[in-house]
């Protein structure tokens, strides 16, 4: 009997999680297309890149007086250094998808039956529609076209309804449809694709195979970005950097101390025993295995139980049930769940049914997903991520208001804004001779973001494909009101809200053998 498993969770195994899940779901099942046959860096004349680090004197296209240190736009913490208004010959058709006046950007609209299901569960106001997403995207494109230096060109957005279903792709199925969608983008003459709201590993790889820049890869390891260079970029941390940071954080702030955040008083008195759950795909399994190796070598911590599961929603319910039983039988006090957003919903109900209340360390998905976990169980959940203010105080909201004060903005506005901003930053830095190679070199040479940006610190440099550079440690407060949807349940900061650099150095700033300050403890 599963009286405590959320009813919503039981239904999720039959429906795909649509837009919100696609943004955040960092899991796929099989090895996908091989990288392009030639990914070596083409010859790029660095003198032809945008002068985004120079700040030469002059007036920008948006009438900002340019000088050293001044940003291109005043309303963004992530803006490149200003570029005086450019004139001259830009080289014309410097690359597929580029003409003397346009840069073509495609967006694959999600094609999934789960969209209507999420609207029924959470309400359309929480999820929004494809039309709202495209309209919001176009509004930002219009704003950036007017305010960034694009050397005589404008970005032209070309959305299309994908044939591929991201849920099938996440289960290693429907690869022909993913390939077909990449060919559609190529047929639309795309220079780049910005389908973060429907991104999957196979779709991104097929885009790269067709010479199309993709802003959307979700939590891939560093080696993957390098294999597919110069085509893959992401506003989400790569998984191996996150793993190295997590290993040191666990070793310093949690290992060899009592599991004080567990729900079971007996477990609270036990020295922490770790268990690990992650998907059984080669790319992400490599990160899970690396975490186990680092903890064993550096801190002599061995996982009491490691479980790999398949992202197949027809069996995930039984896999979650089995995983919880195994964690309990092996005496695990602290479950490390590198899971998709559905697995914790299922597992939290199973844990209550089995009278098992450990500490949880899980990925921070949007509040609407954690709100439908079993709240008795999730009241003992930790995560890492960034705390966002209310939407009206976010940079993405203010930018939309600059562009259009009366338009209908998608609820996913921040998830649309961030990758688009990253793309336009790199376009300006690439200079007039726009190719995937100059885009990459311009991207690497972008300046670090200004302090206190809503979406974390962005740091750039050679071979840094994912610029996120800091994080908060978070705990789930079942009673606090979410700034995302105004409902009870949201993450709050540990350790007084301190942000840590996204690096092994950052985690080393945690006091050694001192418990985290979370849950009011």
205-255 per-position pLDDT tens digit = 999 999 999 998 877 888 899 999 999 999 988 888 888 899 999 999 999
User: Given the structure tokens 């709202």, which residue do they identify?
Assistant: 132
- In this prediction, residue 481 carries a pLDDT of 94
Buried/exposed 85-117: b ≥16 CB within 10 Å, e otherwise:
ebeeebbeebbebbbeebbbbbbbbbbbebbeb
**What distance, in Å, lies between the first and last C-alpha atoms of the chain?**
34
**The token pair that represents 14 in the structure block:** 């039959």
Q: What are phi and psi of 351, to 5 degrees?
A: -65, -45
- In this prediction, residue 160 carries a pLDDT of 95
Q: What are phi and psi of 461, to 5 degrees?
A: 165, 175
d(CA 207, CA 107): 12
Is there a contact between 355 and 377 (Cβ–Cβ < 8 Å)?
Answer: no
d(CA 33, CA 209): 8
Pick from 158, 157, 167: nearest CA to 203: 167
pTM: 0.88
User: Which residues of the chain register pLDDT less than 50?
Assistant: 1-3, 6-34, 37-41, 114, 117
**The token pair that represents 262 in the structure block:** 């567990």
d(CA 355, CA 377): 10
What does DSSP assign to residue 81? B
352, HSE (Cβ side, Cα atoms, 13 Å): 19
Buried/exposed 155-170: b ≥16 CB within 10 Å, e otherwise:
bbbebbebebbbbbbb
Is there a contact between 69 and 76 (Cβ–Cβ < 8 Å)?
Answer: no
d(CA 223, CA 217): 13
- Report, at the CATH architecture level, how domain 7-15+240-389+469-507 is classified: 3-Layer(aba) Sandwich (3.40)
Decide: helix, strand or coil at residue 103: strand
- In this prediction, residue 258 carries a pLDDT of 98
Residue count of the chain, please give it.
521
- In this prediction, residue 129 carries a pLDDT of 85
- In this prediction, residue 114 carries a pLDDT of 46
Using CA of residue 294, residue 299, residue 303, residue 309, what is the dihedral sign?
negative
- In this prediction, residue 9 carries a pLDDT of 35
- Segment holding 400, helix H or strand E: helix 395-403
- In this prediction, residue 221 carries a pLDDT of 86
Q: How far is CA 205 from CA 96, 131, 190, 215, 435, in A?
A: 18, 26, 15, 12, 18
Pick from 132, 79, 105, 103: nearest CA to 194: 105
| Residues β-bridged to residue 306 | 276
- CATH T-level topology, domain 20-51+95-236+392-444: Rossmann fold (3.40.50)
- In this prediction, residue 55 carries a pLDDT of 67
Is there a contact between 212 and 185 (Cβ–Cβ < 8 Å)?
Answer: yes
d(CA 211, CA 202): 14
What does DSSP assign to residue 471? E
Other beta carbons less than 10 A from residue 39's beta carbon: 15
58-59 and 65-66 beta bridge pairing: antiparallel
Q: How far is CA 346 from CA 85, 355, 425, in A?
A: 55, 15, 40
Domain with CATH 3.40.50.2300 in the chain: 7-15+240-389+469-507, 20-51+95-236+392-444
Decide: helix, strand or coil at residue 335: strand
């Amino acid at each position: 009997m599963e009286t405590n498993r959320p009813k919503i969770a039981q239904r999720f195994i039959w429906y795909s999680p649509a837009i919100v899940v696609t943004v955040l779901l960092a899991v796929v099942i099989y090895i996908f297309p091989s990288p392009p046959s030639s990914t070596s860096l083409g010859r790029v004349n660095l003198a032809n890149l945008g002068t985004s680090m120079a700040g030469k004197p002059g007036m920008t296209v948006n009438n900002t007086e340019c000088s050293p240190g001044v940003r291109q736009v005043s309303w963004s913490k992530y803006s490149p250094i200003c570029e005086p208004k450019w004139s001259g010959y830009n080289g014309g058709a410097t690359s597929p998808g580029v003409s003397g006046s346009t840069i073509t950007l495609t967006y694959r609209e999600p094609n999934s039956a789960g969209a209507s299901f999420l609207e029924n569960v959470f309400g359309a106001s929480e999820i929004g529609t494809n039309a709202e997403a495209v309209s919001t995207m176009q509004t930002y494109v219009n704003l950036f076209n007017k305010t960034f230096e694009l050397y005589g060109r404008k970005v032209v957005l070309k959305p299309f309804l994908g044939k591929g279903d991201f849920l099938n792709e996440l289960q290693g199925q429907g690869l022909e449809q993913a390939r077909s969608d990449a060919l559609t983008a190529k047929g639309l003459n795309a220079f780049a694709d910005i389908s973060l709201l429907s991104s999957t590993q196979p779709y991104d790889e097929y885009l790269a195979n067709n010479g199309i820049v993709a802003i959307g890869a979700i939590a891939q390891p560093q080696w993957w970005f390098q294999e597919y260079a110069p085509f893959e970029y992401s506003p989400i941390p790569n998984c191996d950097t996150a793993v190295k940071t997590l290993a040191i954080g666990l070793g310093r702030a949690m290992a060899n101390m009592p599991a004080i955040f567990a729900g079971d008083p007996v477990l609270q008195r036990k020295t922490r025993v770790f268990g690990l759950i992650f998907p059984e795909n080669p790319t992400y399994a490599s990160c899970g295995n690396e975490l186990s190796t680092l903890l064993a070598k550096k801190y002599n911590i061995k996982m009491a139980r490691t479980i790999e599961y398949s992202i197949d929603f027809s069996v995930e319910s039984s896999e979650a049930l089995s995983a919880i039983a195994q964690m309990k039988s092996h005496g695990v006090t602290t479950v490390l769940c590198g899971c998709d957003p559905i697995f914790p919903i299922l597992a939290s109900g199973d844990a209550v049914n089995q009278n098992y209340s450990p500490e949880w360390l899980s990925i921070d998905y949007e509040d609407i997903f954690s709100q439908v976990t079993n709240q008795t169980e999730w009241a003992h959940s930790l995560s890492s991520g960034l705390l966002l203010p209310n939407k009206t105080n976010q940079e993405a909201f203010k930018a939309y208001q600059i562009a259009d004060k009366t338009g209908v903005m998608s609820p996913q506005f921040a998830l649309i804004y961030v990758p688009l901003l990253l793309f336009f930053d790199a376009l300006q830095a690439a200079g007039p001779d726009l190719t995937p190679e100059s885009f990459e070199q311009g991207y690497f040479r972008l300046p670090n973001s200004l302090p206190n940006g809503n979406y974390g610190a962005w740091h750039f440099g050679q071979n840094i494909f994912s610029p996120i550079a800091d994080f908060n440690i978070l705990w789930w407060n079942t009673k606090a009101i979410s700034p995302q949807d105004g409902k009870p349940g949201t993450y709050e900061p540990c350790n007084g809200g301190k942000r840590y650099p996204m690096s092994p150095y950052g985690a080393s700033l945690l006091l050694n053998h001192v418990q985290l300050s979370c849950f009011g403890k």
